[in-house]
């Protein structure tokens, strides 16, 4: 069970970026000082730690589900592969995605389970999954999805109010009953082979494709690009602390007020690099039909931000489904024709020169 393995501590002598720690309990109480901290994190870095979120037991079970799934023979896992058409749900084999413009390959394998399939189980909305996923859909995946949704909806509500949006405006962009790209992902990265540097990306630099990601890490390896620089720094995993980060949709809805920061995954630093790295994410993404555009007509705060931008900057003309499909599809190595394919997979990154 990956969550229970003991491994060396995260080293103290690697460049590490501090994140603000947000107390979920205080957010639930709508504590004004805590909301100020969340707002600072959401606008300055777009990443924060979330403490006391209450999802630890479900997280451990999800790691077990991930381990059971990754132990299946590759041939079996490949029956549930994502495919090359831009669907995210299903299995992704190591090396199926590019990590940069030159077409270097990623090293992680992961299983993505759609929130819609988990909530509809034993019905099906999008696709079928390996037996190890089905066996835990009711007992493990559904509770994890439900609790993660609750956390993310609560955080979205607080951001909604600070953005000056009418009550429930952001929730309306994420209707529970509408099919969406929201999904749970369990990721496995193998130990770092000799000869591979600590700089070689396991998951290439990216911004997240949706609204809000709720991430659980045991070993280091996640890095953020420090805003205003070209420098990568590690995010230190802290036991019992989730890492939350905003995705492109929130930058777009807010007219650039909220930050969807570039990040990547490299092998865990130093001694930790000898161990398998497991991570788990729940991604909340807007409903498939939602148009990705600033919600300036609903908030004077957003309207003021948009007025300072080049005209049309965040008017993507895309639905959430289009945005998501384009990004997934163009990172698939089988779809690569050249550096332009990687560029086609990009989101709202703030520093295009740094890819
Ligand atoms: O594994 C991690 O720590 C981060 C994963 C990630 O950024 C992603 O899947 O979008
Ligand atoms: Fe990410």
Does CATH place domain 16-219+237-271+279-344 in 2.30.30.40?
no
Which two structure tokens, joined as six digits, stand for 38?
């969340």
Identify the pLDDT of residue 355.
Answer: 28
Return the ligand 1 atom nearest residue 263 CA.
Answer: 7
CA of 244 to the centre of ligand 2 (A): 10
Atom of ligand 1 nearest to the CA of 221: 3
The pair of structure tokens assigned to 170 is: 């952001």
Q: Is 117:130 a contact under the CB 8 Å cutoff?
A: no
Dist CA 332 CA 336 (whole Å):
7
Among all ligands shown, which has an atom nearest to the Cα of 221?
Answer: 1
Ligand 2 centroid to Cα of residue 300, in Å, is 30
- Can you tell me which atom of ligand 1 is nearest the CA of 189? 1
Q: Is 195 exposed, middle or buried (0-12, 13-18, 19+ CB in 10 A)?
A: exposed
Ligand 1 atom 3: the closest Cα is on which residue? 222
The SS3 call for residue 205 is strand
Structure tokens at 27: 């957010």
Neighbours of 330 (CB within 10 A): 20
Distance of CA 292 to the CA centre of its chain: 18
The whole-angstrom separation of Cα 138 and Cα 140 is 6
What is the residue extent of each domain of the chain? 16-219+237-271+279-344
Distance CA 348, CA 177 (A): 27
Query: For position 5, what pLDDT does the model report?
Result: 62
Strand partners, 223: 234, 264
β-sheet bridge partners, residue 58: none
Name which of 304, 284, 308, 285 is nearest 295 in CA terms.
Answer: 304
Phi, psi of 154 (to 5 degrees): -65, -45
HSE-CB of 86 using CA atoms within 13 angstroms = 14
Ligand 1 pocket, residue 222 CB under 6 Å:
yes
Give, in degrees to the nearest 5, the angle at Cα 204 between 151 and 248: 45
Other Cβ atoms within 10 Å of 117 Cβ, number: 27
* Those residues with Cβ within 8 angstroms of residue 317's Cβ, 6 or more apart along the chain or in another chain: none
The single-letter DSSP state of residue 279 is E
Distance, C-alpha 354 to centroid of its chain: 20
Count the neighbouring beta carbons within 10 Å of the beta carbon of residue 120: 15
| 3-class DSSP state of 70 | helix
Residue 340's pLDDT is 93
What 3-state DSSP class applies to 280? Answer: strand
Structure-block tokens of residue 85: 């058409």
The CA-CA-CA angle for residues 325, 328, 329, to 5°, reads: 80
**305 half-sphere exposure, CB direction, 13 A CA radius:** 22
User: What is the rounded distance in angstroms from the CA atom of residue 319 to the CA atom of residue 327?
Assistant: 12
- CA gap 144, 138 in Å, rounded: 10
Q: Which residue has the tokens 């309990």?
A: 25
Output the pLDDT for position 194.
77
Q: Tell me the average pLDDT of the chain.
A: 95
| C-beta of 106 in contact with ligand 1 (< 6 A) | no
Please tell me the pTM assigned to this model: 0.96
Q: What is the pLDDT along the chain (355 residues), one digit of tens a residue?
A: 454 468 999 999 999 999 999 999 999 999 999 999 999 999 999 999 999 999 999 999 999 999 999 999 999 999 999 999 999 999 999 999 999 999 999 999 999 999 999 999 999 999 999 999 999 999 999 999 999 999 999 999 999 999 999 999 999 999 999 999 999 999 999 998 877 888 888 999 999 999 999 999 999 999 999 999 999 999 999 999 999 999 999 999 999 999 999 999 999 999 999 999 999 999 999 999 999 999 999 999 999 999 999 999 999 999 999 999 999 999 999 999 999 999 999 998 754 433 2
3-state class (DSSP) for residue 112? strand
Give residue-wise pLDDT tens across range 73-114: 999 999 999 999 999 999 999 999 999 999 999 999 999 999
The answer to whether 201 touches 262, Cβ cutoff 8 Å, is no
């Amino acid at each position: 069970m990956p969550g229970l393995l003991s491994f060396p501590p995260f080293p103290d002598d690697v460049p590490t970026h501090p994140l603000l720690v947000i107390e979920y309990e205080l957010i639930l109480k709508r504590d004004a000082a805590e909301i100020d901290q969340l707002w600072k994190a959401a606008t300055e870095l777009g990443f924060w730690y979330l403490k006391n979120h209450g999802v630890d037991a479900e997280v451990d079970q999800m790691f077990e589900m991930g381990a059971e799934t990754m132990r299946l023979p590759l041939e079996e896992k490949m029956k549930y592969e994502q495919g090359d058409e831009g669907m995210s749900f299903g299995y992704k084999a190591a090396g199926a995605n590019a990590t940069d413009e030159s077409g270097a390959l990623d090293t992680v394998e992961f299983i993505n389970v759609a929130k819609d399939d988990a909530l509809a189980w034993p019905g099906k909305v999008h696709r079928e999954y390996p037996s190890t996923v089905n066996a835990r859909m009711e007992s493990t995946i559904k509770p994890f999805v439900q609790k993660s949704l609750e956390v993310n909806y609560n955080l979205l509500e607080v951001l909604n109010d600070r953005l000056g949006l009418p009550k429930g405006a952001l929730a309306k962009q994420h209707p529970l009953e509408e099919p969406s790209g929201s999904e749970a992902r369990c990721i496995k990265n193998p130990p770092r082979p000799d000869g591979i540097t600590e700089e070689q990306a396991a998951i290439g630099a990216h911004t997240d494709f949706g609204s809000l990601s709720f991430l659980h890490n045991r070993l280091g390896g996640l890095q953020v690009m420090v805003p205003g620089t070209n420098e990568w720094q590690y995010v230190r995993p802290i036991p019992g602390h989730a890492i939350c980060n905003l995705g492109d949709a929130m930058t777009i809805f807010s007219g650039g007020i909220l930050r969807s920061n570039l990040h990547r995954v490299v092998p865990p630093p130093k001694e930790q690099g000898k161990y398998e790295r497991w991570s788990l994410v729940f991604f909340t993404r807007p409903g498939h039909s939602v148009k990705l555009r600033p919600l300036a007509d609903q908030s004077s705060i957003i309207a003021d931000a948009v007025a300072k931008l080049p005209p049309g900057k965040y008017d993507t003309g895309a639905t959430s489904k289009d945005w998501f499909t384009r990004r997934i599809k163009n990172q698939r190595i089988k779809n690569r024709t050249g550096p332009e394919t990687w560029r086609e997979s990009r989101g709202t990154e703030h520093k295009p020169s740094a890819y």
